[in-house]
Homo-oligomer: A and B are copies of this chain.
Amino acid sequence: MLATVIHAARDIRLDEVPDPVLAGGRDAIVRVVAACVCGSDLWPYRGITPTAEPHRIGHEFVGVVEAVGDEVDLVQVGDFVIAPFYVCDNTCVNCRNGVSTSCLHGSWWGGDDRFGGFADGAQGERVRVPLADGTLVVVPGPVADDEIPGLLTLADVMGTGHHAAVSAGVREGSTVAVVGDGAVGLCAVIAARRLGASTVIAMSRHRDRQDLAREFGATHIVADRGDLGVTAVREITGGIGADCVLECVGTKESMDQALRSARPGGMVGYVGVPNGGPELPVRRLFNTNVGVNGGVAPVRGYIEELLPDVRSGAISPGRVFDLELPLADVAEAYAAMDERRAIKVLLRP
């Protein structure tokens, strides 16, 4: 079959690779209907994370089950499924605590699983899914083609934006600032409104993303950054800063912006993968009682909660996909995201 392999920085290829086969009784084989490129895929693409040797890439997909092992109970051949961006059993104590990204038996796409097998990357034609009963969520059919983008966001970005909001404690009437206007930041705007925020400030300098943030429910746009950005957020929030700040980038600058945009006693929910830091300035946090909560989003546990709102159209996170390409053009998909020509690219095998 064909699957995406990163060979080196800016060297993305669709290569012929072995077809996946059931390696254990708890596996499933899923034919990929749609996959996508994640902001975090750009770290190796840009060479910020080194690529020592060629490896499979991609971790967001939806598809149709083609085969299941004899210990799989909850997933059947023919089911339309959403896979979160990681593998989990959904039954261990960490999963039960809502932290399935720390599943005691989990693993990551594109790497070896805990049982010695290889878990395919998601940007390919088929994927072997370990721990299929825990990992996959069945979407009751029929699934219309125009539902695909929205469902695909539940594999990562919509659940990750939601995790930022949940981690920051967004609730009815909260004032919220969102740092980052990528797909996760835009989904965080949706999540904040969905949880009842009365004020949602999207920090964005790009007109098209500002417009989408407004459509998603942002009440204010702040284009300034640094001191001016902090001042603008304070002006909107009665002079003190936001109750909740959702950090959806992961750089030193974005985290600093987030910490300084929170009011005394406020909470920063962060989901941007911190790339080489920054370490958090504990004394400043201490003096103002600003908390920091979040991390790699346990989206598996959010899919059931968010799915009805996606299917009913109450929220439209699928709109973050502003470019759709065939899998054959995966190299162009990376380039379009790298050059910010696209917010997020959907790939169809």
Contact = CB atoms under 8 A, between A and B. Distances in A.
Nearest to A275: B283
Of A255, A285, A289, A298, most buried by chain B (CB within 10 Å of CB) is A289
A229 interface: no
A293 B293 contact: yes
A285 B277 CA distance: 11
A286 B282 contact: no
A182 interface: no
B283 A289 contact: no
Contacts of A94: 240, 263-265
A294 B291 contact: yes
Contacts of A263: 94, 97, 99
Interface in A222-255: 238-240, 255
Interface residues of A, number: 39
A294 B283 CA distance: 11
Main secondary structure of the interface of A (DSSP, over half): mixed
B298 A294 contact: no
A286 B265 contact: no
A79 to B, nearest CB: 29
Interface in A292-339: 292-296, 298
A15 to B, nearest CB: 30
Interface stretch (A21-29, A125-133, A266-274): A266-274
A260 B296 CA distance: 17
Contact of A286 (B239, B270, B281): B270
A278 interface: yes
Given A97-B265, A102-B264, A289 B282 contact: no
A291 B291 contact: yes
Given A99-B264, A99-B265, 15 more contacts: A98-B265, A99-B289, A265-B298, A274-B282, A280-B292, A282-B292, A285-B295, A286-B295, A286-B296, A289-B293, A289-B295, A289-B298, A291-B291, A291-B292, A291-B294
- In the complex, the 7 A-B pairs of residues with the closest C-beta atoms, listed nearest first: A291-B293, A279-B279, A102-B264, A99-B265, A289-B295, A280-B280, A286-B295
30 contacts: A93-B238, A93-B240, A97-B240, A97-B265, A98-B265, A99-B264, A99-B288, A102-B265, A102-B288, A102-B289, A267-B293, A274-B282, A274-B283, A274-B286, A277-B282, A278-B282, A279-B282, A280-B280, A282-B292, A285-B295, A286-B294, A286-B296, A287-B295, A287-B296, A289-B293, A289-B296, A291-B292, A291-B294, A292-B293, A293-B293
